[in-house]
């Protein structure tokens, strides 16, 4: 399991991020702890559709924006290790994947014919095939 601490691009809570990351390294030797700073942090935040940090990514998934309480972080790490998804997520990963698989792919809609311009002569109706309309 990997826990990534993504630093703020604005320098917010830098000491707190270092403190929590170091504390996690000491408490959980089974967890790989990574800190991402600078331009790498900016890129990672953008990848997760965030403008600012700090953020905590557990196994490739953003779990916290900001730095949570120590107990909350440990509980969440245990939940991810057990395969329990966050109840705070609006759409669980399995449901999102199932919904995406069940959604039929629609062909692109044909563009509607543009309405005639005001004052333009109307087009005559086409004659039926094989004869005259009389």
Q: Where exactly are the structural domains of the chain?
A: 2-86
Residue with tokens 């790490």: 77
CA 29 to each of CA 3, 21, 32, 56, 87: distance values in angstroms, whole numbers, following the listed order = 12, 12, 7, 18, 27
pTM of the entire predicted model: 0.64
CB within 8 Å of 33: residues ≥ 6 apart: 2, 3, 5, 21, 24, 25
**What's the pLDDT tens digit per position in 62-106?**
999 989 999 999 999 999 889 887 766 645 555 556 655 666 656
Residue 134 clears pLDDT 80, i.e. is over it? no
Pick the more confident residue, 52 or 109: 52
CB 34 within 8 A of CB 3: yes
Domain 2-86 has CATH 3.40.30.10: yes
**What's the pLDDT tens digit per position in 23-62?**
999 999 999 999 999 889 888 988 988 888 899 999 988 9
């Amino acid at each position: 399991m990997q826990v990534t601490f993504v630093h703020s691009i604005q320098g917010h809570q830098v000491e707190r991020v270092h403190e929590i990351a170091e504390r996690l390294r000491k408490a959980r030797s089974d967890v790989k702890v990574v800190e991402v700073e600078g331009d790498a942090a900016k890129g990672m935040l953008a990848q997760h559709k965030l403008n600012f940090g700090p953020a905590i990514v557990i196994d490739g998934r953003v779990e916290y924006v900001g730095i949570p309480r120590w107990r909350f972080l440990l509980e969440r790490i245990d939940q991810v290790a057990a395969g329990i998804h966050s109840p705070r997520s609006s759409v669980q990963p399995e449901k999102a994947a199932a919904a995406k698989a069940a959604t039929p792919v629609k062909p692109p809609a044909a563009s509607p014919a543009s309405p005639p311009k005001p004052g333009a002569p109307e087009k005559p109706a086409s004659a039926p095939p094989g004869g005259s309309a009389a």
